[in-house]
Amino acid sequence: MKAVTHPAPVRTRDRLLDAAAGVIAADGWAAVTMGKLAAHVGVSRQTVYNELGSKAELAEALVLRETECFAVRLTEVVAAHPGRPVDGVTAAFGHTLEAAKANPLILLALGCPKAGGDDFLPLLTTRPEGVLERSVDTVAALFARCYPEVGLSLSEWAVAVEAFVRLLLSHLVQPSGSVAHATGQMRWVIGRMLGA
Task: Give residue-wise pLDDT tens across range 130-140.
Answer: 667 777 888 99
130: three-class secondary structure by DSSP: coil
* Domain at 1-53: CATH code: 1.10.10
Q: What's the mean pLDDT in 40-56?
A: 93
Q: Report yes or no: 105 and 24 within 8 Å, Cβ to Cβ.
A: yes
Q: Report yes or no: 65 and 133 within 8 Å, Cβ to Cβ.
A: no
Q: How confident is the model at residue 171 (pLDDT cuts 50, 70, 90)?
A: confident
Q: How confident is the model at residue 29 (pLDDT cuts 50, 70, 90)?
A: confident
Cβ within 8 Å of residue 10, ≥6 positions away: none
Count of C-beta atoms within a 10 Å radius of residue 33: 14
Residue 55 has pLDDT above 60, yes or no: yes
One-letter identity of residue 133: E
CA distance readout (Å), 30 to 27, 33, 34, 120, 123: 8, 8, 12, 8, 12
- pTM score of the predicted model: 0.74
Q: For the chain, how are helix, strand and coil distributed in percent, rounded to 5?
A: 75, 0, 25
Residue 106 has pLDDT above 90, yes or no: no
Residue 135 burial (10 A CB sphere; 0-12, 13-18, 19+): buried
Exposed e or buried b for every residue in 69-83, given b needs 16+ CB within 10 A? Answer: ebbeebbebbeebee
Q: Which run of H or E residues covers position 17?
A: helix 12-27
Per-residue pLDDT, 6: 43
Percent of the chain scored above 90 by pLDDT? 41
Per-residue pLDDT, 88: 95
53: three-class secondary structure by DSSP: coil
Q: What's the N-to-C CA distance of the chain in angstroms?
A: 60
pLDDT digits (tens, 9 = 90+) for 139-168: 999 999 999 999 999 999 999 998 888 888
CA distance readout (Å), 190 to 101, 124, 167, 172: 21, 28, 11, 18
